[in-house]
Structure 1
Amino acid sequence: MRLDDKVAIVTGSGRGLGLAYAEALAAAGAAVVVNDLDPAAVDAAVARIAGAGGRATGVAARVGGRETAEALADAAIDRFGRLDVLVTNAGVLRDRVLWKMTDEDFDEVVRVHLRGTFTCARAAAVRMRAQGQGGRLILISSPAGQRGNFGQTNYAAAKAGIAAMARTWALELARSDITVNAVVPVAATEMTKTIPAFAPAIEESERTGAPLPGWMRRDEGLGTPGDAAGLIVFLASDAAKDVTGQAIGVGGDRLTLWGHPYEKAVAFRDGGWSAEAIAAAWPDGIGAEPEPYGIPAPKGPEA
């Protein structure tokens, strides 16, 4: 699956999942614009890609505002002559429970994840529409955005918003042959290392080079950052030209299609619904099977 004539931007690609995405796109033949807040991480990532025979340039800048979005799009055009793929991976965490979360905690996460996805996608869409040859917007979401997660008001809200933007932009950009999808990855990163059920296996894998255990890769859908990169290459390729408006999960040995919000149960009552009528009908009616919420706790190797 080759991307030899494609040019891609990957935000937040100095390390972790973003670096895995950038390296996989470059290995498939795409020229890549690497981005990270840390200039040293950008330089190292560009050097890694070039050392493997790939083509890359770097932009060290904080994602969120219009200026960075425009600089990234301009870098793709100026250095490689076009822009075909955008992967919005940049993000930060400021985890706290609701009653302890500050305005600054909330605003910073939303600014980088949600506003950064918006500004970068807008800049990319303008270039892609002007080129008239279609394109790919690949927006990185999270299980927290699909299910909610304790202590992550800001992050879950931003990631849920990203999935909603993917559905909206898939409609708006369809006539321009620009596909838009949300990717929901799960991988062994600095964040997942802190989960007690995962930490020992991740540490052992990093120490010995052994693969993560089967229960983690299959039951929890958690693998290495590289395990998530194949989905990015697929969505960037011509093979995915008809895939749009979807939320697709990947991790370890699992590939999933997330369901979209829909009306699960419907009830009707002549004259409408008073509070008393809803209370009477709820237990055995539309409230009989409430939806789950929250990311399920890891089951562990003995489950």
Structure 2
Amino acid sequence: MDLSNKVAIVTGSGRGLGLAYAQQLARCGASVVVNDVNAETAETAVASITAEGGKAHAVVGAVGSTETAQALVDGAVEAFGRLDILVTNAGVLRDKVMWKMSDEDFDQVLNVHMRGTFTCVRAAVIRMREQGAGGRIICIGSPAGQRGNFGQTNYSGAKAGIVGMVRTWAMELQRAGITANAVVPVAATAMTETVPFLKPYVEAMHNGEELPAFARRELGFGSPQDAAGIVAYLAGDEAAEITGQAVAVGGDRLALWSHPDMTATAYHDGGWDPDAIAGEWPVTFAEHLESVGEKLPEKATAQ
């Protein structure tokens, strides 16, 4: 994968998945703008890239506002002359069951994940369209946004919204040669190490132990580096025809998430009143009801 002469921004790339994305893009030849809210963390990330011969520049700021989004784009242009790739990874968690979740808990997560994705993509797309050479938008989703997760009303809603925006952007940006895709990773990070059924595998990784095939394949769980290859691929010329997709990645697993679609349909002349629905529901719809939450293998649920 050759990304030479390409310039990328990766939000929230001081550590974890974001750092893995930034490092992989740099290894493929891209110049990378690293972003974190902490200056020392951002500079350490830059140093990890330059130590391997890559090019990187830090822009410190909390993602969410239009001002930070513009600062990121300006930083890329000032440091490297252009912008070709944006990876929106920055995020926070404020997990609480819905009836205990405050307005602040909700707003903070939506501001960083969803509004931050929107403001950064908008600023990046304006620059890419001015350049007239296409571009790549890669937004980071989550299984929680695809299937829901207990205690994550704010996070699940934001991540679902991100994938919804990606589908719209794929249509809006097609004429400009800019692709928009979502990556839905599962990896050992600060956001997953508290998940009970993943805890043994996270501890194993921290101890330098090799993950079993069950974790890497059935759970699709691995290191942040395992999730970085798809980001570099989607950023490259080979992926020019791929847009509007949600791609799952983790461990040894790579998969496509489906778009929502109607799974059962019935018709009733004159429309549907409650009695007509009551009569039709058990016949046509009951067996097609969807589950919620992640569908975990039995071995995982037993731990």
- 1:138-287 maps to which residues of 2 (within 5 A)? 138-207=138-207, 209-287=208-286
Distance in 1 separating the partners of 2:149 and 2:50: 38
Q: CA deviation at 1:131?
A: 0.3
1:104-133 CA-partner distances (Å, limit 9, x unpaired): 000000000000000000000000000000
Give the alignment's Cα RMSD to 1 decimal: 1.2
2:179 is paired with a residue whose SS is: strand
Q: CA deviation at 1:262?
A: 1.0
1:199-241 CA-partner distances (Å, limit 9, x unpaired): 123212211x222111100000000000000000000000100
Q: CA deviation at 1:301?
A: 6.5
TM superposition score normalised by structure 2:
0.97
Is the 2:140–2:185 contact (alpha carbons within 8 Å) kept by the matching residues of 1? yes
Moved over 6 A (4+): none
Distance in 1 separating the partners of 2:227 and 2:204: 20
Distance in 2 separating the partners of 1:196 and 1:171: 39
Distance in 2 separating the partners of 1:299 and 1:226: 27
1:283 is paired with a residue whose SS is: helix
1:122 is paired with a residue whose SS is: helix
Is the 2:204–2:210 contact (alpha carbons within 8 Å) kept by the matching residues of 1? no
Asked whether 1:94 is paired with 2:100, we answer no
Is the 1:197–1:298 contact (alpha carbons within 8 Å) kept by the matching residues of 2? no
Distance in 2 separating the partners of 1:165 and 1:301: 32
Unaligned runs of 5+ in 2: none
1:293 match: 292
* Residue type at the aligned position of 1:243: I
* Residue type at the aligned position of 2:88: T
Greater Cα offset, 225-234 or 291-300:
291-300
* Residue type at the aligned position of 2:197: A
- 1:119-130 maps to which residues of 2 (within 5 A)? 119-130=119-130
Q: CA deviation at 1:257?
A: 0.4
Asked whether 1:104 is paired with 2:104, we answer yes
Identical-residue share of aligned pairs (%): 60
TM superposition score normalised by structure 1:
0.97
Is the 1:282–1:288 contact (alpha carbons within 8 Å) kept by the matching residues of 2? no
1:288 is paired with a residue whose SS is: helix
Is the 2:93–2:191 contact (alpha carbons within 8 Å) kept by the matching residues of 1? no
* Residue type at the aligned position of 2:225: G
**Number of residues paired by the alignment?**
302
Asked whether 1:16 is paired with 2:13, we answer no
Distance in 2 separating the partners of 1:81 and 1:265: 52
2:151 is paired with a residue whose SS is: coil
Distance in 2 separating the partners of 1:44 and 1:19: 10
* Residue type at the aligned position of 1:296: K
2:181 is paired with a residue whose SS is: strand
1:5-44 CA-partner distances (Å, limit 9, x unpaired): 1000000000000000000000000000000011111010
Distance in 1 separating the partners of 2:59 and 2:68: 9
